[in-house]
Chain A
Amino acid sequence: MAASGTDRMVVVPKQNYHMHRVRNKTSDLLYSIFRYALVIGISFIILYPLFLKVSVAFKDKQDIYNPTIYMIPQHFTLDNIRLAAQVMDYLPLLANTLLFVTITTLLTAISCALAGYGFARFSFPGSNVLFVLVILTILVPTSTLMVPMYLHFRSFDFMGIIQLFTGKNGINLLNTYWPSMITAATAGGLKAGLFIYIFRQFFKGMPKEIEEAALIDGAGGFKTFARIMLPNAISPLITVILFSFVWQYNDTFYSALFMSESPLISLKVASLPAQANQLIPQLMGFGSNSGIKADPNYVAMIVDTGILLAIAPLIILYLFVQRYFVESIERSGVVG
């Protein structure tokens, strides 16, 4: 803290003063060594699996059985990456996933910001009860809603409108992107309750005078929101967009439930080991019925490389935004 220069202004007898200073210095030094040991240790635990995967990704097949190699491979190769990308059908898969995740993230951010603002600044009959219900949506486990949601989207029909016009039993939206889009647009997607809470806390903390000024200048409610409130809400927006993006990217629960056959990275990764086992002999030039099985160690290598390919976009994204990420949370008013 800023007062560290004045901290020993206590009246100390002259002859003791030097000893105090020396003792303080050594204890400070010991503490900072201890702190670095801890920080570096924990960082190592976090980064080690990642380093291991990077090392495996560039390692040649013949290096697997060489016990003298630690981390840095002797024979560099890009074959693993090429093979893993082939098994996963990587580039189209990535493009598709990024498009899907970006759209759901934006929809979630918009709908949650609207709801958060509505709850923070307006009082209408039942507004407190409704906000308690927002909290309830955070608390109820998603598995409770799983079966009804599944059946609901299997024959989707909004208030019987489709049956009214066509006489059919609704449309099957499973294995399309609509279920996720609809839940995201209605602020009901992954952890949306938490996002609404974050936005509400932030908007509550903003001075009311801003809106009153806008009102006097003749701006309507939505214009005030879009032009004045939202541009000021950068930090909760970053928080929500990042969390929503990452959680959607990693999500297997909803994607497996609604679109088990869609090309999404999270689903592909989960089935990667089985696929690798099946495809590698073929890709290496053996027929599919030749009965030849790939070396399990090699399959494990490809699986690891595939996992690295799957998380690489997130890591790259994180490298760019981590500064804003930490700072925005500190200021976003997550703290009530």
Chain B
Amino acid sequence: MRTIRLSLKSRRALLGLAFISPWLVGFIFLFATPLLQSIRFSLSNLSVAPGGYVLDFVGFKNFKDALLVDATFNRILVDSVGAMLLNVPMILFFSLFTATLLNQKFRGRTMARAIFFLPVILASSAVAAAESAGLINLMGDASAVDAAADGGASFNVVSIVRMLADVGLPMAYVDYIVEAIMRIYEIISSSGVQILIFLAALQSVPGSMYEVAKIEGATAYESFWKITFPMVSPLILTNVIYTIIDSFAGSPVTQAIYQTAFKTQNFGLSSAMSWLYTLVIGLVLIVVGWVLSRRVHYN
């Protein structure tokens, strides 16, 4: 038997390739190929034929249709990007705050942690859909559900708005805070992973730093802004990106894309829509990443 003599370095390289080979095969056939196909689909008119499909090249017609002809896609896209931009700061603020809270020592901390991460386990679009459908059943139609939800909470909102306005906050801030309070459950349930990431970051801050600060006479407030915040700031970028990506999952845009593909069988238009969405998200990620990475403190 003849063996090929390889240097240690190239043997290691081959071994490494062997380790990643399942992923590599999957990447080429189940990610890269579909990605390229999806570009082709978005530029064509796709009709399903028995045992395959037929493509007619139509250029940018699908993109034009998505933006100018389709009645709702424009609005849904702008709305969900807007909602995402509003949500990200709220989720980030809440998760950093909660992580700081859970990182302190107090009786019942283990239980508090267990409860706070429950939404990670239970966040399911299927359950959400069934719940709202159950309500619709009860109320007759969807607008009644919205009306009931508004009616139930309206009393609190007025008093909160009054209180905050009396304090002298500008109305724009008041609106933002009130909206955050109104959607507190939604924010809590979508910030579980972010809390975990921040908590892990907080655990890695050496305790001696706080001791030094305390000896020097720093207040808790000062040591938060001078120690905690800079130390977790790299994770803020991670969390922003995670939150933005996480908002894809159940967004109305994704649903619209799905409907276009499988209800109206317009696969080309659906691909064009998904590419527009990808580009918008990519743009947001680049801008946010660029802005934040200049301010992040690495040690």
Q: Which residues of A contact B (CB under 8 A)?
A: 1-3, 6-7, 9-10, 32, 35-36, 38-39, 42-43, 45-47, 49-50, 111-112, 114-115, 117-119, 121-125, 127, 130, 133-134, 137-152, 155, 158, 168-170, 182-183, 185-188, 192, 196, 221-222, 225, 246, 250, 252-253, 266-267, 269-270, 272-274, 277, 296-297, 299-300, 303-304, 306-307, 310-311, 314-315, 318, 322-323, 325-326, 329-332, 334-336
Closest to A133 in B: B27
Q: Are B53 and A148 in contact (CB under 8 A)?
A: no
Q: Which residues of B does A touch, CB under 8 Å? A: 12-20, 22-27, 29-31, 33-35, 37-38, 41, 46, 48, 51-53, 98, 101, 104, 106, 108, 110, 112-127, 129-131, 133-138, 140, 184-185, 188-189, 196-197, 199-201, 203-204, 207, 210-211, 214-215, 217, 234-235, 238, 245, 248-249, 253-254, 257-258, 261, 267, 270-271, 274-275, 277-278, 281-282, 285
Residues of the A chain whose Cβ atoms lie less than 8 Å from the Cβ of B22: 111, 114-115, 185-187
A140 touches B23 (CB 8 A): no
Question: Which residues of A are found within 8 Å of B46, using beta-carbon distances?
Answer: 147
How many Å from the CB of A59 to the closest CB on chain B?
Answer: 15
Report yes or no: A334 in contact with B200, Cβ–Cβ below 8 A. Answer: yes
Q: List 15 A-B contacts (CB under 8 A).
A: A39-B108, A42-B188, A111-B26, A118-B23, A142-B248, A148-B34, A152-B37, A187-B23, A221-B19, A253-B249, A266-B124, A266-B126, A296-B140, A326-B113, A336-B234
Complex contacts, B281 vs chain A, CB 8 Å:
139, 141
Known: A141-B248, A269-B126, A334-B196. A315 touches B134 (CB 8 A): no
Distance in angstroms from A336 CB to nearest chain B CB is 7
Known: A141-B274, A330-B199. A318 touches B23 (CB 8 A): no
B contact patch SS = helix
- Cα(A32)–Cα(B116), bound, Å: 18
Q: Is the CB of A273 within 8 A of B133?
A: yes
Contact between A35 and B106 (Cβ–Cβ < 8 Å)? yes
Contacts of B18 in A (CB 8 A): 118, 221-222
Contact between B267 and A147, CB atoms less than 8 A apart: yes
* Cβ-defined contact, A151 with B101, below 8 A: no
With A and B bound together, what is the CA distance between A192 and B37 in angstroms? Answer: 21
Contacts A141-B274, A326-B196 supplied; 14 other A-B pairs, CB < 8 Å:
A118-B23, A124-B12, A124-B16, A133-B27, A139-B281, A147-B271, A151-B53, A155-B52, A221-B19, A269-B126, A272-B133, A273-B134, A311-B127, A315-B121
Knowing A182-B30, A270-B126, the reply to whether A144 touches B52 (Cβ < 8 A) is no
